[in-house]
């Protein structure tokens, strides 16, 4: 065999050895993934984002309706949520006592007159004993007076003795009223519930209102002092948001105005409240006036102490504007856009014109009509998916 024949044989074997590897993958299969990426990229450039069904379940997308709002000038102020003082109570004792048992904890829902704690007080025992003694003397005086009057009617005793009995009975009644008054001043249930045979130094501390136990500052065995608040109870169905506006703005806020509210703890959610009070005295250090806004807390997610931003109108309403939650608006290379749900897994990318911040919402000056649904939670992830799809499509084109 010549050298040329050997070289031809080696080349043939090398070609045959490589050929199966080059044909392992179907040419049609090799182009499937780039074609899908190109399809998504073309749809993204056409203004539609397509999401795979499995990914869609993980995005937790929520939507909201673009709403028509009244225009006009407004002021945006940061404030803090507080309890509704018309439905709030600090529960304490007006006598030194020792805590025997604690019957309520923070977060518990309690009804009016529901027990909060059981306490014991030597001072209460003395006051109850004095009331029982006064009641006995008053009863004795009434009986003695009755007998004297009967005897006087039969001319057995003189009228002077009747007068003395009347005076003694009146003094005993006055003593009883004083003892009862002293017992009521302690803020504890009346002595009518006591037995004359046993004067109990224990008493039950009860909630004066229905609501939620916000704070408890007492433990079993603790000695309490007069005037110390042991429990704080409030009804959280309606809360107060207090903001402080500069005097030039505050005097232009009308009670009854509707304020739009945004809470840092609730991103993407816009709530409303009603202005119920504009302060009547300017703080000389800050030159501000307090403004109180009542907020309904039907879902129970709001808590005293939360921070919020209030958008309060300070002029008469102007023309209607379109507004969407701030989280629905996403910045794009061309400006701003929102995502509108279409068929399942598909979302239209709509470029819009952004206007003023409205306290948790944003004014839309163009590109959107009232009533159209926009994505709120998940809008940022849709924007990321759109950018990814556009990038994949452009890379495939090259």
Note the pLDDT tens digit of each residue in 370-398: 999 999 998 998 998 888 877 655 555 55
Name the CATH topology of 122-200: Helix Hairpins (1.10.287)
- Rounded mean pLDDT of 175-194? 70
pLDDT score of 87 more than 90: yes
Measured CA angle at 266 (ends 263, 271), to 5 deg: 60
pLDDT score of 40 more than 90: no
Q: Which residues pair with 320 in a beta bridge?
A: 70
What is the SS3 assignment for 220? coil
Name the CATH topology of 74-84+236-316: Elongation Factor Tu (Ef-tu); domain 3 (2.40.30)
Q: Which residues pair with 233 in a beta bridge?
A: 89, 213
Sheet of 211-216: strand order equals: 88-92, 229-234, 211-216, 109-110
Q: Give the pair of three-digit tokens for residue 90.
A: 């600090």
Contacts of residue 375, defined as CB under 8 A and 6 or more positions apart, other chains included, come to 61, 62, 63, 328, 338, 339, 340, 341, 347, 382
Determine the Cα–Cα distance for residues 83 and 168; give it in Å rounded to an integer.
Answer: 53
Domain 40-70+321-397 is of which CATH architecture?
Beta Barrel (2.40)
| Ramachandran region, residue 359 (left: φ > 0; alpha: ψ -120 to 50; beta: rest) | left
| pTM metric for this prediction | 0.57
pLDDT of residue 338: 95
Determine the Cα–Cα distance for residues 75 and 72; give it in Å rounded to an integer.
Answer: 10
What is the SS3 assignment for 339? strand
Q: Start-end ranges of CATH 2.40.420.20 in the chain?
A: 40-70+321-397
pLDDT score of 96 more than 50: yes
Q: Start-end ranges of CATH 2.40.30.170 in the chain?
A: 74-84+236-316
- First-to-last alpha carbon distance for the chain, in angstroms, is 50
Q: Start-end ranges of CATH 1.10.287 in the chain?
A: 122-200
pLDDT of residue 189: 54
Determine the Cα–Cα distance for residues 281 and 372; give it in Å rounded to an integer.
Answer: 44
Q: Which residue has the higher pLDDT, 146 or 26?
A: 146
pLDDT of residue 42: 55
User: By percentage, how much of the chain surpasses pLDDT 90?
Assistant: 39
Write the pLDDT tens digit of every residue in 347-360. Answer: 999 999 998 777 67
Cβ atoms of 255 and 276 closer than 8 Å: yes
pLDDT of residue 211: 95
Burial category of 53 from C-beta neighbours within 10 Å (exposed 0-12, middle 13-18, buried 19 and up)? exposed
Residue 120: CB atoms within 10 A of its CB come to 15
Q: Give the pair of three-digit tokens for residue 340.
A: 């509108």
pLDDT of residue 243: 95
Name the CATH topology of 89-118+204-233: OB fold (Dihydrolipoamide Acetyltransferase, E2P) (2.40.50)
Write the pLDDT tens digit of every residue in 136-154. Answer: 899 998 998 888 888 888 7
Winning range, highest mean pLDDT, from 34-43, 100-109, 191-200, 318-327:
100-109
């Amino acid at each position: 065999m010549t050298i040329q024949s050997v070289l031809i044989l080696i080349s043939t074997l090398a070609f045959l050895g490589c050929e199966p590897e080059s044909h392992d993958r179907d040419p049609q299969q090799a182009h499937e993934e780039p074609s899908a990426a190109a399809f998504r990229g073309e749809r993204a450039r056409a203004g539609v984002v397509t999401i795979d069904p499995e990914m869609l379940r993980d995005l937790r997308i929520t939507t909201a309706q673009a709403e028509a709002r009244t225009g006009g000038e407004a002021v945006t102020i940061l404030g803090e949520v507080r309890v509704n003082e018309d439905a709030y109570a600090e529960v304490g004792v007006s006598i030194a006592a020792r805590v025997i048992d604690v019957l309520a904890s923070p977060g518990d829902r309690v009804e009016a007159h529901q027990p909060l704690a059981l306490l014991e007080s030597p001072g209460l025992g003395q006051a109850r004993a004095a009331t029982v003694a006064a009641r006995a003397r008053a009863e004795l005086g009434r009986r003695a007076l009755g007998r004297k009057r009967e005897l006087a009617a039969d001319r057995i005793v003189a009228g002077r003795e009747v007068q003395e009995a009347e005076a003694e009975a009146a003094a005993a009644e006055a003593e009883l009223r004083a003892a009862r008054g002293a017992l009521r001043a302690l803020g504890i249930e009346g002595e009518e519930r006591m037995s004359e045979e046993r004067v109990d130094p224990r008493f039950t501390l009860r909630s004066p209102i229905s609501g939620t136990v916000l704070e408890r500052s007492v433990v079993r065995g603790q000695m309490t002092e007069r005037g110390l608040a042991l429990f704080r109870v409030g009804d959280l169905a309606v809360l107060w948001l207090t903001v402080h506006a500069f005097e030039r703005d505050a005097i232009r806020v009308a009670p009854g105005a509707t304020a739009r509210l945004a809470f840092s703890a609730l991103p993407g959610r816009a709530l409303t409240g009603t202005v119920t009070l504009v302060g009547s005295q300017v703080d000389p250090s800050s030159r501000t006036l307090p403004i109180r806004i009542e907020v309904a807390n039907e879902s129970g997610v709001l808590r005293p102490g939360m921070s919020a931003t209030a958008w309060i109108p300070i002029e008469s309403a102007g023309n209607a504007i379109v507004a969407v939650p701030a989280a629905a608006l996403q910045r794009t290379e061309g400006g701003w856009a929102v995502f509108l749900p279409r068929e399942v897994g598909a979302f239209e990318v709509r470029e819009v014109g952004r206007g003023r911040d409205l306290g948790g919402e944003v004014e839309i000056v163009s590109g959107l009509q009232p009533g159209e649904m926009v994505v709120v939670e998940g809008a940022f992830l849709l924007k990321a998916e759109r950018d990814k799809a556009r990038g994949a499509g452009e890379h495939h084109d090259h």
